[in-house]
Amino acid sequence: MNQQTDTMKRTYKLIASRGNEIVFDDRIQSDTPRNARRELKKLLGLKSLSGIVYSITEIPVDLIREIVDGELLAVVVYRKGAVAISDMLMRMRFSKEAEDAA
C-alpha cells in the first residue's frame, strides 16, 4: 500500500469558542483528531489552545454513504418494482468491490 492510502483523511466537525464568542465552526479533513487540533491552532493563528473550549467530532462519511445507498435502493425498489432489486444489489456490490480495490 502506498502512503496515501495508509493515511486516509477523515472529516471532523470542529467548534471552538473563547468566552461567549464562537471563533471556529467548520469541518476539517485530517488523518487524526490530533492533527485536526493542530490545523485548528494554525487556522486561529494560536500557539496553543489554552483558553479555547473546543469540540471535535468525526463525521462518519462511510456510514452516511451506506445509509444513503440504502435509501436510494428503497426508492428504486418502490419505483421500479422488485425486479430492480437484484440489479441494484449487483451494481452496489461491484462498485463496493471496485472501491475497496482502489
Same domain, yes or no: 48 and 17: yes
Same domain, yes or no: 66 and 46: no
Q: Are 14 and 24 in contact (CB under 8 A)?
A: yes
Same domain, yes or no: 53 and 67: no
Same domain, yes or no: 37 and 81: no
Helix (H, G, I), strand (E, B) or coil at 35: helix
CB atoms within 10 A of CB 61: 12
CB atoms within 10 A of CB 36: 22
Q: What domain range is 50 assigned to?
A: 3-59
**Residues 28-68 pLDDT 10s:** 999 999 999 999 999 999 999 999 999 999 988 777 888 88
Same domain, yes or no: 38 and 79: no
Same domain, yes or no: 13 and 51: yes
Distances (CA, A) of 11 to 25, 31, 64, 90: 13, 8, 12, 29
- Residue 82 in this model has a pLDDT that exceeds 70: no
